[in-house]
């Protein structure tokens, strides 16, 4: 009976005795004064010829991402590999996130047997440098081992003695992300600490040690070193930076060649608009581009000339604006005004309500008006240099695309930040590269002279500005004829204030009541009237040129 029990015990215990496992895993980490680590790992294993046939391997992560998404690449230099105190063959192979150190060669190990492997290596950039302290956060026993680990210890030594009360020691055990406390840790001597596992680790479990120590014990990397590492580890960021520098260089050279404006002349106050130019033409030249105020300024000019009337009906929530064709005896003399008038009433109707239900007609009128201005002013008076803008966009987009592809998802925050700087550069360049010709520069000087006259409210102040002589008398007719130009140059409030001060309250009320081309409720308030035909009319035109349903607040769909 006793023999039978003995045989049964031996049979049941045989699989346990034959199990491959790590008998002990002892690690010594020496922190060098330059911040590098010299590590010695002694790994005693029980080999049965199953998983351990020619040797063991040690996976070492050398590439990871920091909390900002930037790739960090650390260095690993293998110094020595031994088995049972004798030099052992070894080689490395690349893994997805680092290196694998393989021990042994093609020869099989004599199993079953116990072996002790000693791995010595040097690694860099493993320390964290914070404002108040420096820190080692070290996965001493990684979670990638497929064998159980019966015992384990870690010894960490600083390059110089540090009192135990100035060192903070922590650690974690368990699977990836777990924060078990199955260890005992204490300062073993000044500047040194030791961690000892208090239980065996199952496959996939590890030990992480944390040691915080005062600043100055090791040399912190300089800002230049950090930037160099960042660019070396994140090729996408480097490519994006090179693209930004190339873009800035290209934009600067093109601006020097094409975008420098001719020197302005002496600005002389002008009491009349430059002959042959509509209000929209002056604004188009000033902005070197088209906007809704160009449209509204020429609509107002046509109204003052008697070619159309403007009607405004006050609403509870929104006013309704309407343009009414008149029986004008003479067509507008200026080409862009004639083009605008022809397209406003192109369908033969005599009225046009400024609502987005008429967006196609209004948009077509704007396009025709803008095209007439483009034809007249470009390239005779200014150039936008659109080809240079297109090349700048091509440089930015090409380098950003290459940066994203090379980055492989790393450094994306910095790449996006550089993309933002590129966008700012492109916007500034698109504005700066516009340049007037010599004739355009002369017209800009005349526009500025007219704006000075329209925008200076005090007569005494106007006398101090250089001009051709005393300004003409400002009466109702003159106020009305120059109002479209004031709207175009965005000084309608100043022009109205100037007229109010010069004519007096009675004349202002009479003027407001006598404006035949405007039909709306303004109560004799000329200031409200100027705002209505200025900013309010421009806003209404902008909203009515967009088709209804052009944007939506719904994120879903359905049927009805």
pLDDT tens digit string along 379-431? 899 998 989 999 999 999 999 999 999 988 889 999 999 999 999 999 999 99
- For residue 552, name the pLDDT band (cuts at 50, 70, 90): very low
CA angle 510, 514, 518 (to 5 degrees): 130
Q: DSSP per residue over 546-558, as a string?
A: SPTTSS-S-----
pLDDT of 558 higher than 50: no
User: Token pair of 403, please?
Assistant: 């940066």
What is the per-residue pLDDT for 359? 87
Q: Phi-psi region for residue 160, left (φ > 0), alpha (ψ -120 to 50) or beta?
A: beta
| pLDDT score, position 503 | 81
pLDDT tens-digit series, residues 283-302: 999 999 999 999 999 999 99
Question: What is the average pLDDT across 60-67?
Answer: 88
Dist. CA 491–CA 535, nearest whole Å = 11
Beta carbons within 8 Å of 86's beta carbon, 6+ residues apart: none
Work out whether the CA dihedral 223, 228, 233, 239 comes out positive or negative.
positive
Q: 58-88 burial, b if ≥16 CB within 10 A, otherwise e?
A: bebebbebeeebbbeebebebeebbbeeeeb
- Is the CB of residue 481 less than 8 Å from the CB of residue 304? yes
Return the exposure string of 161-185: e unless at least 16 CB atoms fall within 10 Å of the residue's CB, then b.
ebeeeebebbbbbbeeeeebeebeb
pLDDT tens digits, one per residue of 76-91: 999 999 999 999 999 9
pLDDT value at 178 more than 80: yes
Instruction: Extract the tokens encoding 95.
Output: 């893994």
Judge residue 504's burial from the number of C-beta atoms within 10 Å of its C-beta, 0-12 exposed, 13-18 middle, 19 or more buried: exposed
What mean pLDDT is predicted for residues 214-240? 93
pLDDT digits (tens, 9 = 90+) for 485-510: 999 999 999 998 888 888 887 888 88
Q: Report the pLDDT value the prediction gives residue 458, as an integer from 0 to 100.
A: 52
Higher pLDDT, 551 or 172: 172
Give bridge partners of residue 99 from the DSSP assignment: 60, 94
Helices marked H in 408-504 — which ranges? 412-432, 438-455, 459-463, 476-488, 492-503
Q: Compute the 3-state secondary structure of the chain and give helix, strand, coil in percent, each to the nearest 5.
A: 40, 25, 35
pLDDT digits (tens, 9 = 90+) for 424-474: 999 999 999 999 999 999 999 999 999 999 987 555 555 555 556 677 888
Distance CA 11, CA 18 (A): 11
Beta partners for 552? Answer: none
Helix orientation angle between 335-344 and 359-377, rounded to the nearest 10 degrees: 170
Confidence (pTM): 0.70
Mean pLDDT, rounded, for 104-111: 92
Lowest mean pLDDT among 104-118, 325-339, 425-439, 546-560: 546-560
Superfamily of domain covering 19-224: tricorn interacting facor f3 domain (2.60.40.1730)
Q: Give the C-alpha distances (Å, rounded to integers) separating 53 from 126, 150, 269.
A: 32, 20, 97
Mean pLDDT of 184-202: 95
pLDDT exceeds 80 at position 548: no
Query: What is the spatial distance between Cα 71 and Cα 233, in angstroms, rounded to a whole number?
Result: 6
DSSP annotation of 198? S
| Structure confidence by residue, pLDDT tens digits, 228-280 | 999 999 999 999 999 999 999 999 999 999 888 888 888 899 999 999 999 99
What letters, b where the CB count within 10 A reaches 16 and e where it falls short, cover 425-445?
Answer: bbeebbebbbbbbeebbbbbb
- The position carrying tokens 């025709």 is 368
Tokens of 262: 């001719």
**C-alpha–C-alpha distance, residues 298 and 276, integer Å:** 13
Comparing CA positions, the residue from 341, 344, 340 lying closest to residue 358 is 344
Confidence of residue 207 (pLDDT cuts 50, 70, 90): very high
Domain boundaries, the chain: 19-224, 234-262+386-432, 279-380+441-544
pLDDT of residue 291: 93
- In angstroms, how far is the first alpha carbon of the chain from the final one? 87
> Taking the CB of residue 5, how many other CB atoms lie within 10 A of it?
9
Taking the C-alpha atoms of residue 339 and residue 398, their distance in angstroms, rounded to an integer, is 41
17: confidence class by pLDDT, cuts 50, 70, 90: very low
Q: Which residues contact 423 (CB under 8 A, 6 or more apart)?
A: 396
User: Cα(260)–Cα(431) distance, rounded to whole angstroms?
Assistant: 12
Query: Cα–Cα distance between 328 and 309 in angstroms, integer?
Result: 11
Q: How confident is the model at residue 366 (pLDDT cuts 50, 70, 90)?
A: very high
* Average predicted confidence (pLDDT) for the chain: 88
Q: Is the pLDDT of residue 13 over 90?
A: no
Of 35, 28, 29, which is closest to residue 217 (Cα–Cα)? 35
Cβ atoms of 292 and 542 within 8 Å: the answer is yes
């Amino acid at each position: 009976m006793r023999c039978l029990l003995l045989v049964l015990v031996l049979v049941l215990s045989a699989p346990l005795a034959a199990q491959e496992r790590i008998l002990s895993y002892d690690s010594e980490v020496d922190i060098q004064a330059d911040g590098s680590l010299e590590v010695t790992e002694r790994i005693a294993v029980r080999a049965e010829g199953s998983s351990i046939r020619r040797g063991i391997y040690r996976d070492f992560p050398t590439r990871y991402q920091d909390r900002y998404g930037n790739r960090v690449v650390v260095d690993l230099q293998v110094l020595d590999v031994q088995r049972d105190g004798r030099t052992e063959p070894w080689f490395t192979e690349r893994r997805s996130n680092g290196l694998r150190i393989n021990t042994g060669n093609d020869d099989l190990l004599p199993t079953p047997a116990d072996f002790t492997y000693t791995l010595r290596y040097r690694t860099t950039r493993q320390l964290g440098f914070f404002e108040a302290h420096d820190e080692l956060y070290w996965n001493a026993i990684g979670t990638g081992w497929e064998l159980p680990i019966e015992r384990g210890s870690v010894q960490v030594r600083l390059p110089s003695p540090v009192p135990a009360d100035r060192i903070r020691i922590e650690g974690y055990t368990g699977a990836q992300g777990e924060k078990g406390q199955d260890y005992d840790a204490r300062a073993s001597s000044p500047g040194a600490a030791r961690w000892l596992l208090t239980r065996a680790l199952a496959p996939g479990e590890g030990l992480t040690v944390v040691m915080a120590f005062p600043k100055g014990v090791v040399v912190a990397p300089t800002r230049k070193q950090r930037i160099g590492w960042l660019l070396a580890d994140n090729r996408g960021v480097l490519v994006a930076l090179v693209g930004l520098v190339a873009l800035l260089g290209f934009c600067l050279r093109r601006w020097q060649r094409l975008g420098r404006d001719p020197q302005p002349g002496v600005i002389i106050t002008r009491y009349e608009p430059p002959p042959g130019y509509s209000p929209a033409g002056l604004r188009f030249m000033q902005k070197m581009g088209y906007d809704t105020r160009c449209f509204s300024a020429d609509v107002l000019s046509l109204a003052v000339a008697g070619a159309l009337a403007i009607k405004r009906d006050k609403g509870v929530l929104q006013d309704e604006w309407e343009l009414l064709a008149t029986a004008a005896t003479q067509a507008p003399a200026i080409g862009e005004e004639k083009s605008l008038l022809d397209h406003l009433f192109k369908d033969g109707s005599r009225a046009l309500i400024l609502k987005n239900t008429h967006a196609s007609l209004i948009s077509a009128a704007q396009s025709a008006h803008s095209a007439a201005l483009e034809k007249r002013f470009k390239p005779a008076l200014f150039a936008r240099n659109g080809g240079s803008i297109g090349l700048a966009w091509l440089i930015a987009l090409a380098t950003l695309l290459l940066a994203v592809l090379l980055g492989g998802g790393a450094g994306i925050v910095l790449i996006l930040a550089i993309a933002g700087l590129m966008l700012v550069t492109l916007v500034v360049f698109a504005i700066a590269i516009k340049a007037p010709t010599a004739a355009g520069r002369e017209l800009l000087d005349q526009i500025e002279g007219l704006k000075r006259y329209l925008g200076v409210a005090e007569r005494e102040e106007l006398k101090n500005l250089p001009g051709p002589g005393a300004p003409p008398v400002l009466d109702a007719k003159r106020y009305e004829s120059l109002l479209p130009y004031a709207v175009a140059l965005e000084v309608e409030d100043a022009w109205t204030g100037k007229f109010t001060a010069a004519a007096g309250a009675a004349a202002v009320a009479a003027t407001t009541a006598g404006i035949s081309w405007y039909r709306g409720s303004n109560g004799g308030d000329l200031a409200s009237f100027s705002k209505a035909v200025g900013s309010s009319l421009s806003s209404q035109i902008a909203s009515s040129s967009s088709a209804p349903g052009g944007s939506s607040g719904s994120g879903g769909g359905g049927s009805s």
